[in-house]
């Protein structure tokens, strides 16, 4: 199997680089190889490489900056995935796209299912939702996997931010009214790869039949505040922390350019029922992720 991976240097893309070679020949592309906002380049490279599987881990993920760089966010999150989905259809390849819990407005108080109406509150969410719609129009054998609060121990994740803040501040305030499911990038790449491996004998046919939007995130849900507490407890170098007080705060205390949904946990039953796989609880996963 020949696999093209976009976004190889992101949280998820990096983890895919580690695991995908088990499945086949991997051509991993980062910004230096292909700028995905240049739609012609995306089309050209896929025409040249003719993969059997395209995984898009690239995205415009700066939620606040997207309000200003609207056009760029739309190109990367809405238009590039459409080009990938269309190329996949024309070439008989499978296309895997990731989307977000931010397609919802966060007004529910139980986890969102794939049947719940979408209503994004910010440009990032709108651009990702437009990406979903475009893929449905242009694609054939695709999966759109909506996930939430992706983190890794590499890069600028919430986990690393909290660890950094705890080394610089005695008092920390973290919002307790934003609730979702933290998802370890390594687990997300792992469960996707396992699903692809289990179906590899007849992948194109199976994914064509099962093409849909699926929710796929760490099981359970929590607030940013509770998540931060667990991050501090699991810090492998706890003695470096100077933080004494971790206080809950409200989103209103920290105005941001983009409005975020308050409750955006995802119900992942459809993925589990379809593929027989589920991500473990966010809390036990965080412990594993943070243990050296």
- Binding-site ranges for ligand NAP (CB under 6 A): 7, 9-13, 30-31, 35-37, 57-61, 76, 98, 100-101, 128, 147-150, 185
Residue 41 CA neighbour count, 13 Å, CB half: 13
Angle at 9 between CA 5 and CA 10, to 5 degrees: 95
Which residue, 18 or 238, is less far from ligand NAP as judged by CB?
18
Phi then psi for residue 277, to 5 deg, are -135, 145
Which residue, 32 or 245, is less far from ligand NAP as judged by CB?
32
Which residue, 35 or 267, is less far from ligand NAP as judged by CB?
35
- Is 124 one of the annotated active-site residues of the chain? yes
- Tell me the torsion sign for CA atoms 88, 89, 91, 94: positive
Which one from 60, 102, 112, 124 is the annotated catalytic residue? 124
* Closest chain position to ligand NAP (CB): 10
Minimum CB distance to ligand NAP, residue 171 (Å): 25
Name the DSSP class of 69: S
Give the pairing of strands 179-180 and 171-175.
unpaired
The separation between CA 114 and the C-alpha centre of its own chain, rounded to angstroms, equals 16
Minimum CB distance to ligand NAP, residue 76 (Å): 5
Minimum CB distance to ligand NAP, residue 177 (Å): 17
DSSP letter string over 218-255?
Answer: -BS-EEHHHHHHHHHHH-TTGGG----EEEEE-GGGS-
CA distance 192 to 20: 10
Minimum CB distance to ligand NAP, residue 290 (Å): 17
Which residue, 31 or 241, is less far from ligand NAP as judged by CB?
31
Active site residues: 124
């Amino acid at each position: 199997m020949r696999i093209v991976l976009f976004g190889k240097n992101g949280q998820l893309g990096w983890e895919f680089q580690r695991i995908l070679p088990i499945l086949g020949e991997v051509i991993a592309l980062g910004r230096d190889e292909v700028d995905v906002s240049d739609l012609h380049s995306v089309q050209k490279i896929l025409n040249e490489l003719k993969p059997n599987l395209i995984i898009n881990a690239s995205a415009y993920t700066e939620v606040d900056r997207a309000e200003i760089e609207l056009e760029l966010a739309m190109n990367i999150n809405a238009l590039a995935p459409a080009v990938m989905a269309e190329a996949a259809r024309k070439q008989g390849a499978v296309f895997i796209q990731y989307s977000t819990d931010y397609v919802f407005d966060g007004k529910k108080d139980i986890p969102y299912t794939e049947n719940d109406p979408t209503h994004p509150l910010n440009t990032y969410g709108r651009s990702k939702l437009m990406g979903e719609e475009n893929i449905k129009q242009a694609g054939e054998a695709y999966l759109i996997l909506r996930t939430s609060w992706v983190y890794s121990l590499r890069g600028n994740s919430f986990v690393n931010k909290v660890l950094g803040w705890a080394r610089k501040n005695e008092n920390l305030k973290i919002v307790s009214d934003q609730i979702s499911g933290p998802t370890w990038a390594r687990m997300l790449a792992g469960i996707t790869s396992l699903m692809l491996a289990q179906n590899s004998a007849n992948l194109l046919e199976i994914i064509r039949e099962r093409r849909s939007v699926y929710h796929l995130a760490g099981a359970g849900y929590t607030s940013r505040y509770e998540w931060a507490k667990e991050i501090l407890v699991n810090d492998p170098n706890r003695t470096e922390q100077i933080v004494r007080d971790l206080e809950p705060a409200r989103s209103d205390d920290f105005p941001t350019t983009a409005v975020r949904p308050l409750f955006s946990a995802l119900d992942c039953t459809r993925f589990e029922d379809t593929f027989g796989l589920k991500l473990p609880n966010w809390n036990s996963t965080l412990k594993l992720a943070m243990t050296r």
